[in-house]
Structure 1
Amino acid sequence: MTEEWQRGFYRRSLEQRQTLLAHGRDLGPLGEAQLQINATPEHDLVIENYVTDYRVPEGLVLGLVVNGQPYTVPMATEEPSVIAAASNGAKRVAQSGGFTAVIQERQMIGQVVLQNVTDPDHVITDLLMHKAELLQLANAARPSMQKRGGGAVDLQIRPLGSFVSVDLLIDVQDAMGANSVNTMAEAVAAHLRENGYDVLTAILSNLADHSLVTVTCQVAFADLATAALDGETVAQRISALSNLAQVDPYRAATHNKGIMNGIDAAVLASGNDWRAIESGAHAYAAKGGHYRGLAVWTVGAEGLMGMLELPMPVGTVGGSIKLTPQSKLNYQISRIQSAKELAQVIASLGLAQNLAALRALATTGIQAGHMKLQYRSLALSVGATPAEVPTLVARLATENHVDAAKATALLREMRENE
Structure 2
Amino acid sequence: MNDERPTSRISGFFKMSQEERYRALIDAQILTEEDVEYLRPSGEIGFDTANHMIENAIGVLELPLGLGLNFLIDGKDYVVPMAVEEPSVIAAVSHIAKLARPSGGFKTEYSGSRMIGQIQVVGASDWDATSAAILENKARLLAVANEFEPGMVARGGGAKDIRVRLIEEGKYQSMLIVHLVIDTCDAMGANMINTMAEGVAQEIEKLTDGRILLRILSNLCDERVAVARCRIPFSELGWRGFSGEDVAKGIELASQFAEVDPYRATTHNKGIMNGISSVCIASGNDWRAVESGAHAFAARSGQYSPLAVWWVEDGHLVGEIEVPLAVGTVGGPIRFHPTVQLVHRILRVESAGELARVMAAVGLAQNMAALKALATEGIQRGHMSLHARSVAATAGALEDEIDDVVKHLLKCQDIKVDRARRILFELRNSQL
Aligned residues: 418
Could you tell me which residue of structure 2 aligns to residue 42 of structure 1?
49
Could you tell me which residue of structure 1 aligns to residue 255 of structure 2?
242
**Amino acid aligned to 1:170:** I
**Amino acid aligned to 1:299:** V
Aligned partners of 1:238 and 1:50: how far apart in 2? 45
Aligned partners of 1:86 and 1:331: how far apart in 2? 19
Could you tell me which residue of structure 1 aligns to residue 148 of structure 2?
141
Contact 1:255 1:293 in 2 (8 A): yes
Deviation at 1:117, TM superposition (A): 4.3
Contact 1:245 1:292 in 2 (8 A): yes
Contact 1:224 1:359 in 2 (8 A): no
Could you tell me which residue of structure 1 aligns to residue 171 of structure 2?
none
Aligned partners of 2:157 and 2:6: how far apart in 1? 48
Greater mean deviation of Cα atoms: 13-22 or 149-158: 13-22
Contact 2:232 2:317 in 1 (8 A): yes
Aligned equivalent of 1:164, options 170, 176, 185: 176
Q: Kindly indicate whether residue 33 of structure 2 is the aligned counterpart of residue 20 of structure 1.
A: no
Could you tell me which residue of structure 1 aligns to residue 411 of structure 2?
398
Q: Percent identity?
A: 44
Aligned partners of 2:415 and 2:337: how far apart in 1? 39
Could you tell me which residue of structure 2 aligns to residue 7 of structure 1?
11
| Residues 15 and 386 of structure 1, relative CA distance in 2, 3 Å threshold | farther
Could you tell me which residue of structure 1 aligns to residue 221 of structure 2?
208
Greater mean deviation of Cα atoms: 116-125 or 90-99: 116-125
Contact 1:234 1:359 in 2 (8 A): yes
Aligned partners of 1:315 and 1:346: how far apart in 2? 12
Cα deviation, 1:321-346, whole Å, max 9, x if unaligned, reads: 24211011111111111111111111
Contact 1:5 1:20 in 2 (8 A): no
**Amino acid aligned to 1:18:** Y
SS in structure 1 at match of 2:320: strand
Aligned partners of 2:26 and 2:409: how far apart in 1? 36
Could you tell me which residue of structure 2 aligns to residue 319 of structure 1?
332
Q: Kindly indicate whether residue 58 of structure 2 is the aligned counterpart of residue 51 of structure 1.
A: yes
Could you tell me which residue of structure 1 aligns to residue 272 of structure 2?
259
Contact 2:6 2:30 in 1 (8 A): no
**Amino acid aligned to 2:193:** V
Deviation at 1:410, TM superposition (A): 1.8
Could you tell me which residue of structure 2 aligns to residue 353 of structure 1?
366
Deviation at 1:401, TM superposition (A): 3.4
Contact 2:123 2:210 in 1 (8 A): no
Aligned equivalent of 2:82, options 53, 56, 75: 75
Greater mean deviation of Cα atoms: 179-188 or 193-202: 193-202
Greater mean deviation of Cα atoms: 383-392 or 121-130: 383-392
Q: Kindly indicate whether residue 342 of structure 2 is the aligned counterpart of residue 335 of structure 1.
A: no
* Unaligned runs of at least 5 residues, structure 2: 169-173
Greater mean deviation of Cα atoms: 186-195 or 332-341: 186-195
Could you tell me which residue of structure 2 aligns to residue 176 of structure 1?
188
Superposition pairs for residues 84-123 of structure 1, below 5 Å?
84-123=91-130
State the TM-score, normalized to the length of structure 1: 0.96
Contact 2:117 2:197 in 1 (8 A): yes
Contact 2:333 2:340 in 1 (8 A): no
**Amino acid aligned to 2:52:** L
| Residues 393 and 322 of structure 1, relative CA distance in 2, 3 Å threshold | farther
Give the aligned CA root-mean-square deviation in angstroms: 1.8
SS in structure 1 at match of 2:408: helix
* Unaligned runs of at least 5 residues, structure 1: none
**Amino acid aligned to 2:68:** V
Aligned partners of 2:200 and 2:394: how far apart in 1? 53
Contact 1:22 1:31 in 2 (8 A): no
Aligned equivalent of 2:162, options 146, 155, 163: 155
Deviation at 1:394, TM superposition (A): 1.3
Deviation at 1:185, TM superposition (A): 0.5
Aligned partners of 1:44 and 1:188: how far apart in 2? 32
Greater mean deviation of Cα atoms: 216-225 or 315-324: 315-324
Greater mean deviation of Cα atoms: 370-379 or 407-416: 407-416
Aligned partners of 1:237 and 1:135: how far apart in 2? 51
| Residues 4 and 176 of structure 1, relative CA distance in 2, 3 Å threshold | closer
| Residues 220 and 168 of structure 1, relative CA distance in 2, 3 Å threshold | same
Could you tell me which residue of structure 1 aligns to residue 139 of structure 2?
132
Contact 2:41 2:60 in 1 (8 A): no
**Amino acid aligned to 2:77:** P
Aligned partners of 1:412 and 1:139: how far apart in 2? 67
Deviation at 1:4, TM superposition (A): 7.8
Aligned partners of 2:19 and 2:214: how far apart in 1? 39
Aligned partners of 1:376 and 1:335: how far apart in 2? 31
Cα deviation, 1:138-170, whole Å, max 9, x if unaligned, reads: 111112211221110111111111111111111
**Amino acid aligned to 1:100:** K
Could you tell me which residue of structure 2 aligns to residue 308 of structure 1?
321
| Residues 319 and 197 of structure 1, relative CA distance in 2, 3 Å threshold | farther
Aligned equivalent of 1:223, options 236, 247, 271: 236
Aligned partners of 1:141 and 1:323: how far apart in 2? 24
Deviation at 1:222, TM superposition (A): 1.5
Deviation at 1:116, TM superposition (A): 3.0
Could you tell me which residue of structure 2 aligns to residue 279 of structure 1?
292
Cα deviation, 1:356-414, whole Å, max 9, x if unaligned, reads: 11100011100111001100111122333333222111111111333333223222222
